[in-house]
Amino acid sequence: MTGSNQNILSYPIEYLKGVGPQRADLLKKELNIFTFSDLLHHFPYRHIDRTKIFRIVDLNPSIEFAQVQGVLVNFEVIGEKSARRLIANLKDDSGTMELTWFQGISWVQKMLRQGQQYLVFGRMGFFMGKPQMVHPELEVVQAGTAQTKNYLEPVYPTTEKLKARGLGGRPMAKLVQALLPLLSEKDIPENLPDSILHRGQFVSRYAAYQQAHFPSSTEAYEKAVRRLKFEEFFIAQIRLAIVRAKRHRYSKGVVFDKVGDLFNTFYHKHLPFQLTGAQKRVLKEIRSDTLNGHQMNRLLQGDVGSGKTIVALLSMLLAIDNGFQACMMAPTEILAQQHFNSISSLLKDMPIGVHLLTGSTKNGERKYILQCLAEGSLSLIIGTHALIEEVVQFKNLGLAVIDEQHRFGVAQRASLWKKAAVPPHVLVMTATPIPRTLAMTAYGDLDYSIMDELPPGRQPITTVHRYDTYRVSVLEFIKDEIEKGRQAYIIFPLIEESVKLDYESLMQGYEHVKAFFPEPRYWISMVHGRQNPEVKETNMQRFVKGDTQIMVSTTVIEVGVNVPNASVMLIENAEKFGLSQLHQLRGRVGRGAEKSYCILLTSSKLSNEARERIKTMVSTNNGFEIAEKDLELRGPGDIEGTRQSGTLNLRLADLVKDKLILDAAKKWAEQIAEEDPELDAAENLRLKHYLGSLQGKTVWSKIS
């Protein structure tokens, strides 16, 4: 709403007719309705069609509310005590129905007139196949004239406590009905530029709010909602697009103007494989981003195993060739260690040192590293959050790569780019694909690259679903794979609230596996959250080296772990896992040349949603498809990394169902932001004014 405090929409809700202090308290507590504006944005979830009068013969159990017109044939009070009720029969030319009252009996009885025409409205019920209404609304009408209410009556989301205070889903409409006439067009001014109103054929903002609550027709309602949904997407998009467009225009960034010796030597002599087309494309994007004098802020989304590490490494070499330092930050110690190992081995014949800084780096070494970073004698460092602590100072950080970004908060990232006078270029890599629509909405201020191609020669992983009654034959299958020299993961879920119970069920599982795979013919590693880091590391290493053939684990191995010889991923109680977790776990196999399998073991009782998840896993290996399905099944709020985004504050729009509207909103927002990032053009002024009025409310991240 517009920012001025004089604006009627900022009035406290208790100023509204019909809202006393008690109801106001409840509205605040139960529905977060504090102001007139909040009530205006409390949209009905459906409408009851009061334009229609049903014939009694047409009433059926699928109709929730109905309006009927007929003659009152008779009425009488029957029953005793709590069963005492007033029953009346209403008849139209097609049949008869029953009206019942349990309360206010004598009052209603006095009011009813036999032989009179009534228009009745209420919730439909059926008793012994006969239609009836309990406590209907009644209105006297002239005989022979059909008299409908000519509107769609809104029904609002509400709560039990509010219902008890007379504010159920329908009564709530009275409040909105009291509010709307108080608002004039200047209270809900247009905020979209004319060109967009025209292109989208949108109704005005003022009309949209009126019609979304009290529509004059179904068509008017749909138009109103379409406009409001568009506005939700558009405003979120334009705020991010402006941040991005301004960065493109005004930010200062260090320039990597040459491709130097380190890059070339590594690329031509030590790269162990050909880059995929997707990897090359992303490198080109990064190259051009770091050449134009503006700061790069790029999100790289790649499916599990698409080869993001090598892209990161080549980018870092580019920075170092140009005289800058580069760092790579991972969310956990295990992952930082693993990046350090693989990058060290890739660079083993190169004249460049790699260092690792984590929470467990010993003091002496830490001191040495900090000193070298500050002096600039150390150019490539890998680490965890330890890299962003105050004490870490870089001489000239040119590129920061952040792996698996959703585990880092925005503030944590921001502290990285404060570490240099000119902010370093930033490459954010996500471990698990998130749906495109979500990426657009949550990360609209970043530039966006996608790696949707896996390196060649990978055999697709075969995924199957088995009920746990087949466990023995599944274990037999694993035995065969081990005979061929392969290794297997067996994963147990964290299900219970209690760590102790989880631990016990893991131990039980372990004993069961051990009985099937006895020593000394088979050796088993076990890793779980209760072990201390050294024990974990030792057990992990035994598996990595091939000293053990089976890894029994909870989900601690979820991301990043790389054991190419492992060819089976068995997931126990797979129905307890989310889709992105299952996909990550599956990504632990299929990393070598051998054919790999993922087996999802479940009980035979599955919820519909669990069944959908399993079906999705079996039918595709594509992380992007899986992410879309995940969004569809769970909604955006539950997708990792988006909850804190703040831009997903959607009241009406739906990321899954309203994709087309989102696409248009994004396209038009980007166009305006790139052409006129200050919104100084005459037709953009009202948008500028509106965005100004939102100042101080959350915008997701202004990260440079």
Question: Is residue 350 at the binding interface for ligand ADP, with CB under 6 A as the rule?
Answer: no
Q: Is 391 exposed, middle or buried (0-12, 13-18, 19+ CB in 10 A)?
A: exposed
Question: Is residue 309 at the binding interface for ligand ADP, with CB under 6 A as the rule?
Answer: yes
Question: Is residue 406 at the binding interface for ligand ADP, with CB under 6 A as the rule?
Answer: no
Q: Smallest distance, Å, CB 431 to ligand ADP?
A: 7
Q: Which of 168, 189, 323, 455 binds ligand ADP (CB under 6 A)?
A: 455
Q: Smallest distance, Å, CB 550 to ligand ADP?
A: 22
Rounded Cα distance, 467 and 601, in Å? 6
- Considering only 12-20, 308-316, 496-504, 669-677, which stretch makes contact with ligand ADP by CB under 6 A? 308-316
Question: Is residue 425 at the binding interface for ligand ADP, with CB under 6 A as the rule?
Answer: no
- Considering only 102-110, 273-281, 605-613, 629-637, which stretch makes contact with ligand ADP by CB under 6 A? 273-281
Which distant-in-sequence residues (6+ apart) come within 8 Å of 687 by Cβ? Answer: 191, 192, 193, 238, 672, 679
Please identify, using beta-carbon distances, which residue of 133 and 326 lies nearer to ligand ADP.
Answer: 326
| Element at 581 (helix H, strand E) | helix 579-586
Beta bridge partners of 89: 74, 98
Please identify, using beta-carbon distances, which residue of 210 and 279 lies nearer to ligand ADP.
Answer: 279
Question: Is residue 273 at the binding interface for ligand ADP, with CB under 6 A as the rule?
Answer: yes
- Considering only 141-149, 246-254, 269-277, 653-661, which stretch makes contact with ligand ADP by CB under 6 A? 269-277
Please identify, using beta-carbon distances, which residue of 4 and 274 lies nearer to ligand ADP.
Answer: 274
- What DSSP assignment string belongs to 561-578? ---TTEEEEEETTGGGS-
Question: Is residue 305 at the binding interface for ligand ADP, with CB under 6 A as the rule?
Answer: yes
Q: Smallest distance, Å, CB 325 to ligand ADP?
A: 22
Listing from the earlier edge strand, what are the strands of the sheet with 597-602? 462-467, 597-602, 566-571, 487-491, 550-553, 524-527
What backbone torsions phi and psi does residue 483 show, to the nearest 5 degrees?
-55, -35
Rounded Cα distance, 626 and 418, in Å? 36
What is the number of other CB atoms lying within 10 angstroms of the CB of residue 387?
A: 25
Closest CA to 674 of 429, 447, 428: 447
Q: Which of 122, 302, 433, 493 binds ligand ADP (CB under 6 A)?
A: 302
Q: Smallest distance, Å, CB 552 to ligand ADP?
A: 23
Q: Smallest distance, Å, CB 700 to ligand ADP?
A: 25
Q: Which of 306, 487, 567, 647 binds ligand ADP (CB under 6 A)?
A: 306
Which distant-in-sequence residues (6+ apart) come within 8 Å of 330 by Cβ? Answer: 336, 338, 339, 382, 383, 384, 403, 404, 560
Please identify, using beta-carbon distances, which residue of 118 and 263 lies nearer to ligand ADP.
Answer: 263
Q: Smallest distance, Å, CB 661 to ligand ADP?
A: 32
Question: Is residue 308 at the binding interface for ligand ADP, with CB under 6 A as the rule?
Answer: yes
Q: How many helices (H) and strands (E) does the chain have?
A: 23, 21
Please identify, using beta-carbon distances, which residue of 268 and 605 lies nearer to ligand ADP.
Answer: 268
Q: Smallest distance, Å, CB 449 to ligand ADP?
A: 12
Please identify, using beta-carbon distances, which residue of 13 and 585 lies nearer to ligand ADP.
Answer: 585
By CB under 6 A, the count of residues binding ligand ADP is 14
Residue nearest to ligand ADP (CB): 307
Structure tokens that stand for 217 in this block: 């027709």
Q: Which of 304, 494, 566, 582 binds ligand ADP (CB under 6 A)?
A: 304
551 and 487 Cβ atoms separated by less than 8 Å? yes
Which distant-in-sequence residues (6+ apart) come within 8 Å of 663 by Cβ? Answer: none
CA 332 to chain centre: 23
- Considering only 20-28, 164-172, 270-278, 491-499, which stretch makes contact with ligand ADP by CB under 6 A? 270-278
- Considering only 209-217, 305-313, 536-544, 596-604, which stretch makes contact with ligand ADP by CB under 6 A? 305-313
Structure tokens that stand for 446 in this block: 């970043």
For helices 205-213 and 218-250, give the axis angle rounded to 10 degrees: 140
323 and 399 Cβ atoms separated by less than 8 Å? no
Q: Smallest distance, Å, CB 279 to ligand ADP?
A: 6
Which distant-in-sequence residues (6+ apart) come within 8 Å of 128 by Cβ? Answer: none
Please identify, using beta-carbon distances, which residue of 239 and 308 lies nearer to ligand ADP.
Answer: 308
Question: Is residue 95 at the binding interface for ligand ADP, with CB under 6 A as the rule?
Answer: no
| Element at 426 (helix H, strand E) | strand 425-430
What is residue 322's three-state secondary structure? coil
Q: Which of 275, 372, 464, 507 binds ligand ADP (CB under 6 A)?
A: 275
Question: Is residue 432 at the binding interface for ligand ADP, with CB under 6 A as the rule?
Answer: no
Question: Is residue 691 at the binding interface for ligand ADP, with CB under 6 A as the rule?
Answer: no
33 and 42 Cβ atoms separated by less than 8 Å? yes
Beta bridge partners of 450: 301
Question: Is residue 276 at the binding interface for ligand ADP, with CB under 6 A as the rule?
Answer: yes
Please identify, using beta-carbon distances, which residue of 7 and 309 lies nearer to ligand ADP.
Answer: 309
Q: Smallest distance, Å, CB 546 to ligand ADP?
A: 16
Rounded Cα distance, 531 and 539, in Å? 10
Please identify, using beta-carbon distances, which residue of 119 and 326 lies nearer to ligand ADP.
Answer: 326
Q: Smallest distance, Å, CB 198 to ligand ADP?
A: 44
Question: Is residue 590 at the binding interface for ligand ADP, with CB under 6 A as the rule?
Answer: no
Subset of 508-537 contacting ligand ADP (CB under 6 A): none
Q: Smallest distance, Å, CB 307 to ligand ADP?
A: 3
Closest CA to 672 of 662, 660, 661, 685: 685
Q: Is 660 exposed, middle or buried (0-12, 13-18, 19+ CB in 10 A)?
A: exposed
Question: Is residue 141 at the binding interface for ligand ADP, with CB under 6 A as the rule?
Answer: no
- Considering only 9-17, 28-36, 302-310, 526-534, which stretch makes contact with ligand ADP by CB under 6 A? 302-310
Q: Smallest distance, Å, CB 314 to ligand ADP?
A: 11
Amino acid at 209: Y
Closest CA to 397 of 371, 427, 417: 417
Q: Smallest distance, Å, CB 345 to ligand ADP?
A: 10
Structure tokens that stand for 171 in this block: 């009564």
Question: Is residue 307 at the binding interface for ligand ADP, with CB under 6 A as the rule?
Answer: yes
Alpha carbon separation from 407 to 280, 403, 413, 663 (Å, rounded): 27, 9, 10, 27
- Here's the x/- map for ligand ADP, 226-265, by CB under 6 A: it reads as ----------------------------------------
- Considering only 253-261, 271-279, 493-501, 540-548, which stretch makes contact with ligand ADP by CB under 6 A? 271-279
CA 244 to chain centre: 22
Subset of 322-341 contacting ligand ADP (CB under 6 A): none
Residues that bind ligand ADP (CB under 6 A): 273-276, 279, 302, 304-310, 455
